[in-house]
Amino acid sequence: MSERCLLRGIAASHGIAVGRAVCLTGPGLHVPHARIDPSQVDAEIERLRAAIAASRQALEASRESLRGAGSELEVVLDAHLLMHGDELLVDGCVRSIRDERINAEWALARTIEAICAQLSAAGPVYLRHRAADVQQVGHDILRWLTGTASPLPELSGPAVLVAEDLSPAHVARLVDRPVLAVVTDLGSASGHTAILARALEIPAVVGVLGISRMAADGDLVLVDALHGDVVIHPTEQECARAEERGRRYRRFTRRLRERHATGSAVTKDGVPVRLLANVEIPSEAALAAELGAEGIGLYRTEFLYLDRAAEPDEEEQARVYADVVRVMAPRRVVFRTYDLGGDKLPDADPAFRSPNPALGLRAVRLSLARPAMFRAQLRAMLRAAVHGPVDVMVPLVATVGELREARRHFDETRAELLARGLALGSTRFGIMVEVPSAALLADALASECEFFSVGTNDLVQYTLAVDRTHPQIAGLARPLDPSVLRLLDSTSRAAHAHGIGLSMCGDMASDPIALPVVLGLGYETLSMPYSALPLVREVVGRIEARLARRTAEEALRMGSADDVVALVESRFGKVLGDLWTEEGLREPRASARTTGARGAGRAATRSEERAGDEDRTRGESAATAPADGSRGTRERS
């Protein structure tokens, strides 16, 4: 008997598809553990090197087949190729084999585990994703070591790929394959599998715990990558509806891009809104420029540190920063100084380790503790101002003292460069407001810098005491909570009163449900992933600024995020929801009733569904995950 089974995950690459499953063996590899004699050490190291070379060769072949297919894909594959030669990885394995006298597989597994522990112990979500990359590269090599490396199976027809996880190398091989959608147990909306699926425009739902155990080859699977729902054995009626919605969605996105490929954003009543892009990898700057970004509002420079043991020197940084400024000029680029800390330090200096890294020696604190590193970075950033306007922004400022000390370094570095005769263009100094103390002291801080940029990801984390990296409490991290809104309000008022720049660069800036409140609180410069620009242009065009201001005032007096969401939905007709309704895309979510004894999870409650809906607009939906991590609900058909 076929049993209808609904599972929920994260809509990582939008679209809808129905097709037969092809299941790939996941990365749950068996790692043989063996102790070796001293006489076997050299042979074991040789075996390891041969596996790395084979894995690298396979990846290079994928890279070659992709040339020109999409820069995001190429960037990811290049990163994976670099990791194959990474000193930490290769030397770590060799040391383990030599010192601990263990076989190559065991040494590799241990080394990967140690690197991932360092990367994932702390800090921003995107560093945790680098841990996922390291793991994927490790698994690729492990497959060659254990002789289980296999290409993707030949697909005899259009298929839904189901796997525990897919490495970017796997996803890259999907180019020109008849893949309708991808569903994985693991992953997150901003992980590389998701990035690649979006680049290839393949609908993907990730984080669907249990899917690879439940689906079998040939099962009919409905993938609703708008809601993040996956149904195994859907009903005929469900399939027909889904296929129609899929067609409408494709027409909708085509029209959105045609209408909003570039151009400025203006509210319904004529208030201009500046849209900027967030950048993590230098090549994203060109894509942002193509999609009409009016500047880079956040350049996360710590990305330069990834996959290397030593910090990049001033010259290398200066080259990278200058390239980005040249691409964007005459538009402004906001460089953020390193947001590193705790175990994220590549040189793993034990002095910076912290049991609670989010509250540890992080970001500006770390920069101030390492003035030589800070000065080198400031010089590199300011040198780029020869090519166009540059802003320097310091993350995680919590006190006026920190601002003053960082500013002193900035002023002295600038004076030093001018004394050297450098023709610096316009440069400004600003801070991120992402700690509640900074929002509360915004008045005092505003008189000593030229701009604020609000990092809502951290502001929400610190205000509501919700670890932003913890999947099971992701639903509690609600930017529309009135406590967060009051901090946004005090920050905005202080910036306006002092006549300094104000922008928002956290995820809230591109969250369609939050946008009316964000605009209403006086945030008219928004920075976001470049891919969100067309949608945000459309949403802004549907918001009346006057009504947004009144709505924000009311929201500030409310008691809960649920109340604020209800208010926004009643006033703005669920801004994004309306867009979808017009396109015939929105409809009640697939039923989550649990009737079968084999129900792995439980039905989502109404308030969870709501939190989940709000999350999904931000690309997360972990709110509906039961405490045991399972997400499935089943019913007999």
Active site residues per annotation: 192, 505
Return d(Cα 405, Cα 413) in angstroms, integer.
12
Binding mask 568-607 for ligand PEP (x = CB under 6 A): ----------------------------------------
302 part of the interface to Mg ion, by CB under 5 A: no
Q: How many helices (H) and strands (E) does the chain have?
A: 24, 18
C-alpha of 151 from chain center: 28
457 part of the interface to ligand PEP, by CB under 6 A: yes
Q: How far is CA 497 from CA 195, 517, 519, 596, in A?
A: 40, 20, 17, 60
Q: Please report how close the Cβ of residue 14 comes to Mg ion at its closest, in angstroms.
A: 26
140 part of the interface to ligand PEP, by CB under 6 A: no
Nearest 5°: phi and psi at 236?
Answer: -60, -40
Return d(Cα 442, Cα 444) in angstroms, integer.
6
458 part of the interface to Mg ion, by CB under 5 A: yes
Return d(Cα 94, Cα 97) in angstroms, integer.
5
Q: Please report how close the Cβ of residue 348 comes to ligand PEP at its closest, in angstroms.
A: 21
From the list Mg ion, ligand PEP, none, which binds 505 (C-beta under 5 to 8 Å, kind-based)?
ligand PEP
455 part of the interface to ligand PEP, by CB under 6 A: yes
Q: Please report how close the Cβ of residue 458 comes to Mg ion at its closest, in angstroms.
A: 4
Strands lying side by side in the sheet with 10-13: 10-13, 204-206, 179-184, 159-163, 16-23, 220-224, 229-232, 3-8, 633-636
Closer CB to Mg ion, 66 or 473, in the complex: 473
Q: How far is CA 547 from CA 30, 33, 218, 552, in A?
A: 59, 65, 52, 9
Closer CB to ligand PEP, 137 or 622, in the complex: 622
Select from 187, 455, 475, 601 the one that contacts Mg ion (CB under 5 A): 455
DSSP per-residue string spanning 579-625: HHHHTT---PPPP----STT--S-PPPHHHHHHHHHHHHTT--GGG-
| Site of tokens 């915004």 | 442
From the list ligand PEP, Mg ion, none, which binds 203 (C-beta under 5 to 8 Å, kind-based)?
none
Q: Please report how close the Cβ of residue 126 comes to Mg ion at its closest, in angstroms.
A: 11
> Which H or E run contains 336?
strand 332-336
481 part of the interface to ligand PEP, by CB under 6 A: no
In the chain, helix, strand, coil percent, each to 5? 50, 15, 35
Q: Please report how close the Cβ of residue 353 comes to ligand PEP at its closest, in angstroms.
A: 20
434 part of the interface to Mg ion, by CB under 5 A: yes
Are the C-beta atoms of 34 and 102 separated by less than 8 Å? yes
506 part of the interface to ligand PEP, by CB under 6 A: yes
C-alpha of 234 from chain center: 31
Binding mask 359-398 for ligand PEP (x = CB under 6 A): ----------------------------------------
Q: Please report how close the Cβ of residue 456 comes to Mg ion at its closest, in angstroms.
A: 9
Select from 140, 164, 284, 458 the one that contacts ligand PEP (CB under 6 A): 458
Are the C-beta atoms of 606 and 191 separated by less than 8 Å? no
Q: Which stretch binds Mg ion (CB under 5 A): 115-123, 257-265, 449-457, 484-492?
A: 449-457
Nearest 5°: phi and psi at 163?
Answer: -155, 160
From the list Mg ion, ligand PEP, none, which binds 228 (C-beta under 5 to 8 Å, kind-based)?
none
Contacts of 40 (CB under 8 A, 6+ apart): none
Binding mask 314-343 for ligand PEP (x = CB under 6 A): -------------------------x----
Q: Please report how close the Cβ of residue 406 comes to ligand PEP at its closest, in angstroms.
A: 16
**Binders of ligand PEP in range 260-299 (CB under 6 A):** 298
| Site of tokens 């669907």 | 208
130 part of the interface to ligand PEP, by CB under 6 A: no
Return d(Cα 259, Cα 253) in angstroms, integer.
10
Q: Which stretch binds Mg ion (CB under 5 A): 255-263, 315-323, 429-437, 489-497?
A: 429-437
Q: Please report how close the Cβ of residue 351 comes to Mg ion at its closest, in angstroms.
A: 23
| Site of tokens 């969100």 | 532
Which residues of this protein are in contact with Mg ion, per CB under 5 A?
A: 434, 455, 458
Which residues of this protein are in contact with ligand PEP, per CB under 6 A?
A: 124, 298, 300, 339, 434, 455-458, 505-506
